[in-house]
Amino acid sequence: MKGIIIKGIGGFYYVKSEDKIYECKARGIFRKDKHKPYVGDYVEITIDENEKGAIEEIYPRKNILIRPPISNITQNIVVSAVVQPAINLHFVNNILVYSEHLDIKNVLCFNKSELINEEQKEEIKEHFINTNYKILFTSVKEQTGLHELKDMLRGNINVFSGASGVGKSSLLNSLMPQNKAETGEISSKIERGKHTTRHVELFELEENTFIADTPGFSNINGAQEIELEELMDSFPEFSDLLGQCKFNSCVHDREPDCVIKEAVENRKIASSRYSSYIEMLHSIKATKKY
């Protein structure tokens, strides 16, 4: 049977296959090959007469996170509060870059939207011009934007990332009111941030739709995780312009005749996004000694 690992504790893996969850052990061949199963892995299992399972095969992964250990994430919901706390654009851009690097789709969710007006919402959108990111404004207090968010989650293995205090806990409890104990567990782990030694778990929102408990994901520094040549590819608004600069080696910093810098001047790329790019560029150069 084919299934997905939703939890792993103490050498046991809990695999959801069709409508049941089976406690499984991994075959010794995986330990021998140092190919450890991860939460999120799609696997082939066999079941004995006692309904205990064995993992026989791990299917190829779309992506893998080492911290926290999870695979096959398809969508990252990057949550910010519109105010209280104020949006930290560089923090958000770091998470977006890391997700792009892992081929994870990004959705920008701006919470507590009852605290701002339509003009302020448009100003927020301007920071992400030409990125093609889906942007949602949600309010748990007024119960707005939640149906749209739930629709966006459908069919994905989702992570929720963002700074503490932005309302991830409230959003999760609104999305899964029937499982408040579970979502409270997810939320508290997410908010604890760096406690990445705790086990990772997938919680099923509906069929083929999961929310991943990923403690520590929000503390990722995108610039530490990627190489210099990958950075510009992790800004989707750059994609149509790459290769058009005067110099083939242009990294869009101090070089003349740079189409990326020209696009920033013409407001086709947000200056806040470009500032984050430059900060990450310098960080990569300093860290990796290019």
**Token reading at 45:** 């299992």
- Looking up tokens 């792993």 gives 8
Residue ranges of the binding site for GTP: 162-170
Q: Which residues contact 86 (CB under 8 A, 6 or more apart)?
A: none
Is there a contact between 260 and 241 (Cβ–Cβ < 8 Å)? Answer: yes
191: tokens are 């908010």
**CA 265 centroid distance within chain:** 30
For residues 100 and 234, the answer to whether their CB atoms sit within 8 Å is yes
**226: which residues sit within 8 A by CB, 6+ positions away?**
97, 98, 101, 234, 284
Q: Which residues are annotated as a binding site?
A: 162-170, 245, 250, 252, 258
CB 138 within 8 A of CB 109: yes
* SS3 at position 210: strand
Residue ranges of the binding site for Zn(2+): 245, 250, 252, 258
174 and 139 Cβ atoms separated by less than 8 Å: no
Would you say 15 and 55 are in contact if contact means Cβ atoms under 8 Å apart? Answer: yes
